[in-house]
Amino acid sequence: DGCQLLTSLLEHGNVHKTANRKAYEMLSNLVGLLELYRVDPDERYLRACQNAWQDIATRRLYVTGTTSYFEQFTPDHRLPPGQAVGEGCVTVTWLQLNLHLLELTGVVEYADELERTIYNALPGAQSPHTGEVSYFTPLVGHKGYNDHDKGEPRISCCSSSIPRGMAMIPALIAGTLHGKPALLQYVPGTHALPGGITLHVRGDYPESGTLEIELELQEAAEFSLVLRVPEWATNFEANVGGQSFTPAGNRWLEISRRWVSGDTVAVNIPLETRVVGDGDVTTESVAFVRGPQVLATDEAVDAAGGLPSDNWWGSSIHTCRQKQHGKDTQFQLVNFADAGQNREAYSALQEGIECDE
């Protein structure tokens, strides 16, 4: 008469109705179950985790790429925006679950969720000034850096989990997909892959969607380079050797050719601001999202009429005009990860705006 985790997720797949619906504990168990699956490939283990992922992704996932409220999985399509959103440990175990599922299946949607989390919920939980961590990271309200840490030294599970999630990011960017070199996230830097292939990614993504991928090879070779096309990216295009490549029904875009060291792929990912629903059945609130990044209003930005000149980390600000409650309104928006960095009020959700998605 234990928690019946495996049985429940195989029978109905509803995490809110499984065990005591505690998100961190359940996600930790699912990560462990996938570790077990690697050495004992019982298909029930993988299927249970996929069922849980599908349930979370479609019914209980915040637009910032985290889940849970007051540490528990919420009822279907109930995503309260304030105070107790996305315990830090939940954010990181959700990241781990998606990484395991991506490595085991190669399904592109898991890479999409990694992107959503690493640009929003994960950095949004940590102060850019001090490195202190928020226990919860609300979509509307204040970030309470260090407010959950107790004792001496001041530490909690979340203040260790969030840095651990940050340290995972290099492992989420590039690798091999079905034996082919693949770029999953467009993070500028040098990414060494198996087989003597190194990808040098240059640009300032996601400030802009124009970037270059230079291949460094030990010797010329014929193979397919795989690029992930984000689910939100319309008119994604890659060019190499005078040839253009665009996705055709598959968001793993494969560029097959004989490559020599120094070959460069020019990639263009249009970064349009879109309006996305908050996923909560009880509201009509929406979020502004640009590329992979959720945007937010910020009390300090509004007061300064732009980025504050003092004690502000980051240089990104975006202007957006929308009808709000029937009135033409201009919004000054910063990345969710930057919002509330000095404990001021901020909001990633807006009301009275017509939704695109």
Helices (H), the chain: 5-11, 23-39, 43-59, 88-105, 108-119, 121-124, 157-168, 299-304
Check whether the bond before 153 is cis (ω within 30° of 0): yes
Predicted model pTM: 0.96
Mean pLDDT value of segment 118-131: 97
Check whether the bond before 206 is cis (ω within 30° of 0): yes
CA distances from 215 to 232, 249, 265 (A): 26, 26, 8
* Bridge partner residues of 265 (DSSP): 213
Name the pLDDT band for 357 (thresholds 50, 70, 90).
Answer: low
Q: Note the Cα 325 to chain centre separation in Å.
A: 30
The mean-pLDDT minimum among 51-65, 127-141, 154-168, 329-343 falls in 154-168
- The per-residue pLDDT for range 347-356, each reduced to its tens digit, is 999 999 976 6
Name the pLDDT band for 236 (thresholds 50, 70, 90).
Answer: very high
DSSP 210-278: EEEEEEEESS-EEEEEEEE--TT-TT-EEEETTEEE--SS-SEEEEEEEE-TT-EEEEE----EEEEE-
% of the chain beyond a pLDDT of 90? 93
- The per-residue pLDDT for range 291-319, each reduced to its tens digit, is 999 999 999 999 999 999 999 999 999 99
CA distance 4 to 293: 37
Is pLDDT above 70 for 31? yes
Whether residue 279 contacts residue 62, with contact meaning beta carbons closer than 8 Å, is answered with: yes
- The per-residue pLDDT for range 79-119, each reduced to its tens digit, is 999 999 999 999 999 999 999 999 999 999 999 999 999 99
Is pLDDT above 70 for 211? yes
- The per-residue pLDDT for range 256-305, each reduced to its tens digit, is 999 999 999 999 999 999 999 999 999 999 999 999 999 999 999 999 99
The pLDDT score that the predictor gives to residue 356 is 60
Angle at 296 between CA 293 and CA 298, to 5 degrees: 140
The pLDDT score that the predictor gives to residue 184 is 97
